[in-house]
């Protein structure tokens, strides 16, 4: 614009104008004279005249008529100050000294002097033209400076980001500015030679209370004098590393502990670090992975490797014995080659250090060096999710460890890169992540490596998410962990001088593959990498369904599995339901997402194209082509518990269970999806009418899914198996409660109000017993019960002798639904009590009601609980016994893991909740038979055991007492006592191993306190764990036999 104005002037006749002596050049008035702008113009007042390099008032340039330029400081816009002198920008905005401006000033002065002899009008016109040109010049100049200033700000932003990255951004002193103990000062004012080191020293000075790195020497080297006796560094020039002058460390490295006199160190310590809630993972590694791929072969000689189980907090004696029992069960042929026959248990403290996961892992890691170096030359970390994929891996570990040495050519760390095939996961490719995973080999007793670790812990100080531990993470996303800190330190430009001299000390190896959380095929890895013996991946502890769901959602939806709107969450929950049962493969799940989400524009068509079927769409395969090689079971229940408990073991055995559940279904994620005719609407059609049975047959007569079904499974009630009789398929009757339930159950109050008729019920009962007897004669069918009571109950009322005891498993996924904590895990959480209360279970107790009356009292006012409160304080001590409802709003069994024990006050002989609690290995106390008999006599505690009083239709050849008696049976009679003594001992809580029985509340407190004072509770939990493990193996064999029996040929 200004250049254009100057050009215009050269073509115009001279115009008389006036330059305003104060303020800026104003706008022209009508007669061509420029008026003055006030000092309060929008550009603001002029100030800050203290920068010598910008204050040119001592060297003003004046024209013949005293007009000139003044470089007083102002804003970025060019202005004329007092007496017409042009003002420039402030120093901070210009970003540097403008020394070259003097040359420009001299040239301008010469040019103005040459104008003296021009005529007045000509001179004034040229002056105006000059002003425009100068405005143009300074506009260009200021724009240039502004651009440079923007670059400076960007560089400054990157600098601050880098400070944040290494954890050294100032955030105020944590205490006084006293000298930090242990700092090795750089004397002589030479900090400017290495600003990065200076920043570190400054940070540690500003934060004197920050915890020092565990790899650093904590001795007092606070003196900044060059004569500091505790460190040999005199000046920057005097510090050398391997002949190179480099910046000295801020702190001295820790001095390693030497081995005892004449003692030879073992070559490798194989360290398995874990926290107590990972106990099940450790035992799973030993019993499953080490059993399949043992450390050594039969007859192997002793190898210089010791096995160490390492925990931050001390393990109880019971937990140690449990691990040792599993270890010994492997046998000498598999683990007899370790240098020391018995594994070592190593821990740091009995106290809770209240550290985060990152802080705790780093604390354990850095402490291991001091704990191990006097006895071992090297150590290898093998976390519970790092497992062998080949046998005889100990010799390979020893061979690899021999590369670790402290001499100039030896290695300090050997491990694996991130080798997940999905390089975009956690921004691996974007971050150029080449870090060595923590499951690695490390050198012990090496002063140089101690200095390296100390430098790392000084560089990544205790800040941000690691306030209690230095060197436990970098500030970058996805880089939490000491292994990231160890790697990132040596690739930072700040540390180049030192890092280039130690970079060769870190080596990558194929002995262990770090796959993150990727699913892998061990056979494929062994074929492609013959030197690989172990694989580290979290996927081994995730269910197949969770792994597949994550792959599908990230690949197609480009989002994480959880945290979406209701529509997307519903789609993901639907997919997860069928991935979990085995009905969907990953391809099926992908097609479903594309079918639902593609019309909504939430997925890309190019991504979905690879999942199209042969017809070019996303429809599911024909039923005859689905679930190839699997036995397909179908059930319709009114309680999701039995199906949910059976489904995992059925899938492991090679089958798939599809469940259509009404009633209690949300908690289990099994609510009806494609059920026809029977729309039970929360139990209202619990007992189908004859017309509904006919309609059900017609609806499914030609249904392609029912043609794919191999067998129908009935749980709750089993009488609904009658619906499936017309379809000529195998039927599995798996009773979880009384046989008459749903047909002739006059003892249930809500059934009496749902259209139940006693005479009709009697006829339905006779028909159902006859049907069951006929089913038993066909070898394709299975008659079973999930508890001993109902097993004998079926035998008693039907005369069927071959009734299988098939317990419900309930061993996976207890208490969690999709996207809740722990929903992905294929292992149950551990019992680890953190609270003192003993809980009364189950949540539903019937203490508030009788058979036909509800809300009779509050549960806490029941006479049984009054007996509890009547126990003397001396005997109770500080022990509190609470109803679940007093502390929690729901019956989630996972809450009981926080409590030391539970007390069973039963209302039924078998419940899903009790089975779930037992599978969680929570110590249980239960009233003895004598105490329960008294409670039943006095308070009718087990009234719900009897759903009705059905007619005995077969001959009772063994004179077994009637399990139901009569409605108003005298509980003091011999008949009632015989009934109780025969049938009640068949209850689950008298059949399960490890339950502790008490004869009174006083006896309970005595036994409970004795158990607390010893390891009995822990031992009880382990006994339950062992019983559950044995049951799982037995159930798996039973279900494999059942599936083979019922599968269509």
Among the residue ranges 109-113, 647-651, 861-865, the one predicted with the least confidence is 109-113
Residue 901 has pLDDT above 80, yes or no: yes
- What is the per-residue pLDDT for 451? 95
Q: What is the pLDDT of residues 1025-1047, one digit of tens each?
A: 999 999 999 999 999 999 999 99
Confidence of residue 39 (pLDDT cuts 50, 70, 90): very low
Are the C-beta atoms of residues 742 and 720 closer than 8 Å to each other?
yes
Taking only the tens place, the pLDDT of each residue in 151-165 is 555 554 544 444 343
Is 455 in contact with 485 (CB distance < 8 Å)? no
Lowest mean pLDDT among 184-198, 712-726, 854-868, 875-889: 184-198
The predicted pLDDT at position 591 comes to 93
What is the H or E stretch that residue 935 is in?
helix 929-939
Q: What is the distance of C-alpha 649 from the center of its chain?
A: 25
Residue-by-residue DSSP string for 859-896: GGGSHHHHHHHTS-HHHHTT--EEEHHHH-SS--GGGG
Output 88 or 490, whichever has higher pLDDT: 490
Contact indicator for 61, 105 with CB cutoff of 8 Å: yes
Token pair 């997940």 in the structure block, residue? 420
211 and 180 Cβ atoms separated by less than 8 Å: no
* pLDDT for position 697: 95
What's the pTM? 0.75
Instruction: Give me the pLDDT at residue 151, please.
Output: 56
Quote the CA–CA distance of 741 and 751 in Å, as a whole number: 10
Element housing 695 (H / E): helix 690-700
What's the pLDDT score for residue 238? Answer: 66
Q: What is the pLDDT of residue 560?
A: 82
Q: Which residues of 792-811 are buried (b: 16+ CB within 10 A; e: fewer)?
A: bbbbbbbbbeebbebbbbbb
pLDDT at 121 over 50: yes
At 427-454, the pLDDT tens digits run: 889 999 999 999 999 999 999 999 999 9
456-472: average pLDDT = 91
More confident site: 813 or 718:
718
Check residue 340 and give its pLDDT.
95
How far is residue 310's CA from residue 978's CA, in Å, rounded to a whole number? 55
CA angle 8, 11, 17 (to 5 degrees): 70
pLDDT band at 188 (very low <50, low <70, confident <90, very high): very low
Q: What is the widest separation between alpha-carbon atoms in the chain?
A: 143
So what's the pLDDT on residue 16? Answer: 38
Whether the pLDDT of residue 26 is over 70: the answer is: no
Q: Does residue 5 register a pLDDT over 90?
A: no
| Burial of 527 from C-beta contacts in 10 A (0-12 / 13-18 / 19+) | exposed
The string of pLDDT tens digits covering residues 786-816 is 999 999 999 999 999 999 999 999 988 888 8
Q: What is the pLDDT of residues 229-259, one digit of tens each?
A: 333 333 455 678 888 888 888 888 999 988 8
| SS3 of residue 927 by DSSP | strand
Q: What does the pLDDT look like over 828-841, one tens digit per residue?
A: 888 989 899 999 99
pLDDT in the model for residue 605: 86
> 910-934: per-residue pLDDT in tens?
999 999 999 999 999 999 999 999 9
Query: Measuring CA to CA, how many Å separate 1028 from each of 405, 812, 828, 1022, 1023?
Result: 47, 12, 12, 10, 9
Cα separation of 1015 and 867, whole Å? 28
Q: How far is CA 733 from CA 661, 669, 796, 991, in A?
A: 16, 23, 16, 22
Sign of CA dihedral 357, 358, 363, 364: positive
pLDDT value of residue 23: 37
144 or 405, greater pLDDT: 405
Q: Is the pLDDT of residue 28 over 60?
A: no
Q: Identify the pLDDT of residue 262.
A: 82
Place 689 in a pLDDT band, splitting at 50, 70 and 90.
Answer: confident
Q: What percent of the chain has pLDDT over 90?
A: 57
Question: Span 40-48, mean pLDDT?
Answer: 37
Question: In this model, does residue 1012 exceed pLDDT 80?
Answer: yes
* DSSP code, position 339: S
Per-residue pLDDT at 319 exceeds 80 = yes
Q: What is the DSSP string of 110-173?
A: HHHHTTTTS-HHHHHHHHHHHHHHHHHHHHHHHHHHHHHHHHHHHHHHHHHHHHHHTT------
pLDDT score recorded for residue 9: 54
Average pLDDT over residues 633-662: 94
For residue 169, is pLDDT > 90? no
Q: Calculate mean pLDDT across residues 545-550.
A: 91
pLDDT(897) > 90: yes
Residue 77 clears pLDDT 50, i.e. is over it: no
**Is the pLDDT confidence value at 748 over 90?**
no
Q: What is the mean pLDDT of residues 537-566?
A: 88
Write down the mean pLDDT value for the chain: 83
Decide if pLDDT at 686 tops 80. no
Contact 333, 295 (CB under 8 A): no
pLDDT in the model for residue 812:
85
Query: Is pLDDT at 583 greater than 90 in this prediction?
Result: yes
pLDDT higher than 60, residue 392 = yes
CA distance 266 to 1003: 52
pLDDT of residue 492: 94
Q: Which residue has the higher pLDDT, 1 or 653?
A: 653
């Amino acid at each position: 614009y200004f250049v254009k104005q100057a050009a215009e002037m050269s073509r115009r006749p001279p115009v008389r104008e006036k330059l305003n002596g104060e303020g800026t050049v104003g706008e022209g008035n009508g007669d061509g004279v420029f008026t003055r702008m006030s000092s309060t113009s929008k550009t603001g007042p002029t100030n800050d005249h203290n920068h010598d390099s910008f204050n040119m008032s001592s060297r003003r340039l004046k024209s013949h008529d005293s007009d000139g330029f003044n470089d007083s400081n102002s804003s970025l816009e060019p202005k004329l100050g007092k007496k017409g002198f042009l003002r420039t920008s402030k120093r901070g905005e210009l970003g540097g000294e403008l020394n070259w401006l003097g040359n420009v000033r001299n040239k301008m002065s010469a040019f103005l002097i040459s104008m003296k002899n021009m005529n007045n009008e000509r001179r004034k016109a040229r002056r105006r033209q000059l002003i425009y040109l100068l405005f143009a010049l300074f506009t260009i100049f200021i724009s240039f400076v502004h651009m440079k200033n923007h670059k400076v700000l960007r560089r400054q932003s990157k600098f601050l980001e880098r400070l944040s990255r290494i954890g050294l951004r100032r955030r105020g002193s944590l205490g006084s500015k006293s000298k930090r103990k242990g700092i090795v000062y750089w004397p002589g004012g030479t900090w400017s030679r290495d600003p990065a080191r200076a920043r570190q020293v400054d940070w540690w000075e500003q934060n004197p209370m920050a915890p020092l790195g565990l790899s650093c020497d904590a001795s007092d080297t606070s003196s900044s004098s060059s004569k500091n006796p505790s460190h040999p560094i005199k000046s920057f020039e005097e510090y050398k590393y391997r002949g190179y002058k480099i910046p000295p460390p801020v702190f001295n490295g820790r001095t390693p502990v030497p081995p005892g006199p004449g003692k030879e160190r073992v070559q490798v310590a194989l360290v398995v670090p874990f926290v107590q809630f990972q106990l099940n993972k450790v035992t799973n590694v030993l019993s499953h992975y080490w059993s399949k791929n043992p450390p050594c072969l039969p007859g192997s000689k002793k190898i210089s490797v010791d096995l160490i189980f390492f925990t931050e907090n001390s393990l109880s004696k019971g937990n140690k014995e449990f691990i040792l029992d599993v270890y010994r069960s492997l046998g000498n042929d598999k683990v007899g080659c370790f240098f020391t026959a018995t594994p070592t248990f190593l821990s740091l403290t009995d106290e809770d250090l209240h550290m985060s996961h990152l802080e705790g892992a780093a604390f354990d890691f850095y402490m291991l060096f001091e704990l191990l170096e006097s006895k071992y030359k090297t150590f290898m970390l093998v976390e519970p999710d790092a497992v062998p994929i080949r046998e005889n891996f100990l010799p390979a570990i020893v061979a690899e460890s021999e590369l670790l040495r402290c001499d100039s050519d030896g290695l300090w760390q050997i491990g694996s890169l991130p080798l997940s095939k999905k390089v975009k996961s956690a921004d691996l490719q974007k971050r150029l992540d080449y870090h060595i995973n923590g499951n690695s080999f490390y050198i012990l007793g090496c002063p140089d490596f101690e200095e390296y670790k100390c430098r790392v812990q000084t560089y990544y100080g205790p800040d941000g998410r690691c306030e209690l531990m230095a060197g436990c993470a970098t500030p970058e996303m996805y880089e939490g962990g000491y292994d990231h800190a160890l790697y990132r330190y040596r690739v930072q430009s700040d540390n180049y001088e030192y890092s280039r001299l130690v970079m060769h000390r870190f080596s990558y190896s194929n002995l262990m593959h770090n796959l993150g959380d990727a699913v892998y095929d061990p056979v494929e890895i062994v074929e492609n990498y013959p030197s690989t013996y172990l694989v580290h991946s979290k996927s081994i502890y995730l269910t197949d369904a969770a792994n597949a769901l994550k792959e599908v959602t990230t690949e197609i939806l480009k989002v994480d599995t959880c945290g979406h709107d209701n529509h997307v969450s519903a789609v993901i929950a639907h997919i997860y339901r069928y991935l979990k049962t085995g009905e969907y493969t990953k391809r099926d799940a992908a097609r479903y997402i594309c079918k639902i989400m593609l019309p909504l524009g939430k997925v890309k068509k190019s991504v979905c194209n690879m999942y199209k079927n042969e017809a070019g769409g996303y429809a599911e395969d024909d039923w005859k082509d689905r679930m190839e090689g699997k036995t397909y079971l179908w059930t319709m229940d009114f309680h999701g518990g039995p199906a949910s408990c059976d489904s995992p073991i059925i899938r492991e055995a090679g089958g798939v269970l599809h469940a259509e559940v009404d009633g209690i279904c949300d908690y289990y994620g099994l609510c009806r999806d494609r059920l026809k005719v029977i729309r039970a609407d929360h139990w209202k059609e619990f007992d189908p009418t004859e017309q509904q049975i006919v309609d059900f047959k017609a609806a499914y007569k030609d249904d392609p899914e029912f043609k794919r079904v191999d067998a129908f499974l009935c749980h709750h009630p089993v009488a609904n198996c009658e619906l499936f009789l017309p379809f000529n398929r195998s039927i599995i009757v798996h009773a979880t409660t009384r046989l008459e339930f749903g047909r002739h159950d006059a003892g249930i109050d809500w059934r009496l109000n749902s259209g139940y008729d006693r005479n009709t019920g009697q006829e339905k009962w006779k028909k159902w017993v006859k049907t069951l007897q006929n089913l038993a004669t066909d070898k394709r069918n299975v008659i079973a019960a999930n508890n001993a009571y109902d097993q004998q109950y079926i035998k008693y009322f039907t005369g069927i002798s071959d009734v299988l005891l098939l317990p419900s498993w309930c061993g996976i996924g207890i208490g969690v639904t999709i996207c809740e904590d722990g929903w992905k895990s294929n292992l149950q959480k551990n019992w680890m009590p953190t609270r003192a209360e003993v809980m009364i279970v189950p949540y539903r107790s019937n203490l508030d009601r009788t058979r036909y009356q509800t809300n009779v009292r509050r549960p806490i006012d029941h006479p049984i609980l009054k007996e509890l409160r009547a126990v003397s304080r001396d005997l109770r001590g500080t022990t509190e016994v609470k109803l679940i409802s007093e502390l929690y709003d729901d019956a989630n069994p996972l809450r009981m893991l926080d409590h030391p024990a539970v007390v069973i006050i039963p209302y039924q002989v078998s419940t899903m909740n009790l089975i779930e609690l037992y599978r969680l290995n929570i110590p249980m106390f239960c009233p003895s038979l004598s105490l329960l008999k008294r409670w039943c006599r006095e308070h009718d505690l087990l009234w719900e055991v009897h759903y009705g009083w059905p007619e005995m239709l077969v001959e009772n050849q063994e004179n077994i007492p009637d399990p139901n008696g009569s409605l108003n049976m005298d509980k003091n009679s011999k008949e009632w006592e015989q009934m109780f003594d025969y049938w009640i001992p068949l209850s689950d809580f008298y059949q399960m191993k490890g339950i502790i029985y008490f004869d009174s509340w006083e006896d309970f407190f005595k036994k409970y306190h004795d158990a607390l004072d010893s390891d009995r509770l822990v031992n009880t939990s382990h006994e339950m764990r062992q019983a559950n493990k044995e049951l799982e193996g037995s159930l798996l064999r039973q279900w494999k036999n059942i599936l083979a029996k019922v599968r269509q040929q």
